[in-house]
Every structure is written in structure tokens, then in C-alpha cells.
Structure 1
């Protein structure tokens, strides 16, 4: 499990100022915490973590020596500045179900050459105890052809007895459709050749 170091953040300092100083702000909340803990993480550490983890990932958060088993609940990304602004964490309680999401990852998509891959769902919502959390659902596209569709109920996560799906099992996750090229009318081609 990945560990991320964080410091408690003083609410006297504005989040904007901390971001300018190279920090990502965040909050840790949870049932067994008396109150949420405002935190700050160095931008470098946050970026390194998000290379391997994402929303729905379970990590160990080290807040000034206090280790917390947490779920990455939300990531606020500023696309204008191309930076992470905030990450929120939910402290997990062993044996207690939490709402989470698993990111859909397509493997071998480059091997589908005759069709157009359409990813309809980027994440699958579910409830599970901390021990059963899943942060990614992988779909191997290698043998898929035009007309093939993968539904939520076709995924491994749907047959996992420890996971309660919140996303409709009949929902389409990914489909391969025919590529339709628009034909140019003959008159236009003839007119072009005359020029």
C-alpha cells in the first residue's frame, strides 16, 4: 500500500497561498475522527502518488506520524494551471462499508483496428468494506471486434461477493462500433478535378 506524508494545515493560511508555495491542500474526514483534519501535502509528493493511485485508491496517510488507512475520495484538478489543487480523504474503519469508485482501464486497445472504441463509463460505483476495495477494473480489448459490448455485469467486480455495485449492472461500459467515413458526393469530386 502506498504511503503519503501530510502535515496538519493551519486554517489561518489561505489555501491559495499554500498552493503558490508548492502545496496541495486537503481534508481527512471519517466516522471515527472527532473532526475533519485539514492537511497540506507537497505538490511533488501528491503528483508522485497520483501516477499510481487515483480516486478510489486506498492508501496510508501519514499525518505527522499518525498513520491513517484512507480512501482517496476526491481530487480537484485545475486544468487551467495543470495542477492538483486539493485531495480529500476518507478515514476507513475496518469492517465498515464505504462508497467508492473503481476506474475503468482498457488494456490492448491498440489491437482493435477495425472499429471505434467507445468508453461509456469511466468509473464503477460500489460499496465495500476496506479489505475488499478495488481501485481499477481492467478490460482486455485484444479480441474485441465490431459489435462487441461489455456491460458492468460482465466485469470481475460484479461477481465479487464482497462488493455491492451501485452502478447499474446492465449499464454499457465499453463498446466497439463501426467507423463511418462520410462519403464525398461525386459532383464535388468532379468539380475539384476540373480546377
Structure 2
């Protein structure tokens, strides 16, 4: 499980005007919610937050959020950004509660080189790059390893074929394709029937040759 820490402060003012002032002051408006907890408005430092988000897997990293000195274990559920500047405009945090599972998107890491690629010149087509799972917050994996070394050309790996650690429930459909080893495509130049013959440009005869 990956974890990180971030500081926050409770804010009393809400609304678009208050949010605008917060951003102008170098902070980001945020909210924390969870089971049995009333949503609480927060502010977090923009520079610290931007630096943190660039170094973590946002959807699966547990954030130890220090709210005016009180700690809360959270997951980031939504990051809103400016449509053009791409700066962060708002963040939603979900507080984690002991004994309650959470749903998260976990990156898939493909392990090995398929036999169909090594020996038959095939291509590995990675259809899925994340797996949607339900798990206890204390057991959130950093990633899901998928061994593809035994796959031959034409072999397909489905969600139902994956071997996962105990305690993880997959929320994706069992029949969804994870990856497939395909025959390499060969580019063929199309032949157009009835194509015009190329024009032959001849030298003009000299005056004494007419």
C-alpha cells in the first residue's frame, strides 16, 4: 500500500466567491466526506498538493490528511482542474473507516514477454491498463502484476483468468479482455484497377527537325 501525507485547514466560508479568494491566496478548496461524517470544507496548499499529485498514483494512494493537527486517512476521489490552465481547482477526499472496504482503480503491470512475441513475431495488445477492485484500505496494492510470458499468438487473457491476492474483489466484468497476442499486421499496397497510365513527357522537336 502506498501512502503520503498532506496538511489541510478547516474553512468556514463556502461558495464560488470564497473559492476564488482561496485560489488567489495560493490554496485549493477541498472537501472531506465519509461514512457517518458530515462533509467538511477544507483548504490545502496549492504548491504542496501539485507536487504531491505528480509523484503518486492518485486513485490508489492513501493520504494521511492532517486537518488542523487531527489526522484522517483518506483517498482522493476527484481532482477538478481548470479547463485551459490545468491548475487544480478543487479536490474531494473520502475518509477511510476501519472495517469498510473501498473501491479503487489499480494500475496493471504486465510481467514477462509473451511466447508469441518472442518466438512467433506477434504483438502484445494491452487492452486494460487498470483494474477496478474492492479491498480493505490497509491492503490496497500498489499495482496488479499480470504474467503474460506463456501467451501464444491468438491467446487472450480475460479478467476471470487473473490470479489476485486474497481479500481482493474484482469489480470489472469477468469476460473483459485484459490483453491479447495478435498476428502482426503487414501493410499491403492497394492495387487500383483502371488507374490512368503515367503521362510521358517528350522533348519538343527542334525547328530543323520538323
TM-score (norm 2): 0.70
Distance 1:85 1:120, change over 3 A: farther
Distance 1:148 1:40, change over 3 A: farther
Aligned residues: 189
1:163 paired with 2:168, answer: yes
The aligned residue for residue 92 of structure 1 is 96
**Greater mean alpha carbon deviation, residues 75-84 or residues 139-148:** 139-148
Unaligned runs of 5+ in 2: 202-210
**Root-mean-square deviation (CA), in Å?**
3.4
Q: Which among 33, 36, 41 is matched to residue 38 of structure 1?
A: 41
Shift, 1:41, TM fit: 1.9
- Which of these two proteins has the greater Rg computed from alpha carbons? 2
Aligned runs of 1:1-195 on 2, under 5 Å? 1-9=3-11, 10-11=13-14, 13-33=17-37, 35-50=38-53, 51-78=55-82, 80-106=84-110, 117-139=124-146, 146-157=153-164, 160-186=165-191
Shift, 1:67, TM fit: 0.5
Distance 1:3 1:142, change over 3 A: farther
Q: Is the 8 A contact 1:70 1:90 kept in 2?
A: yes
Q: Is the 8 A contact 2:4 2:61 kept in 1?
A: no
Shift, 1:60, TM fit: 0.7
Shift, 1:190, TM fit: 9.9
For the residues of structure 2 that align with 1:90 and 1:129, how far apart are their CA atoms? 14
For the residues of structure 1 that align with 2:84 and 2:24, how far apart are their CA atoms? 15
Distance 1:60 1:190, change over 3 A: farther
TM-score (norm 1): 0.74
Distance 1:87 1:139, change over 3 A: farther
For the residues of structure 1 that align with 2:157 and 2:81, how far apart are their CA atoms? 29
Unaligned runs of 5+ in 1: none
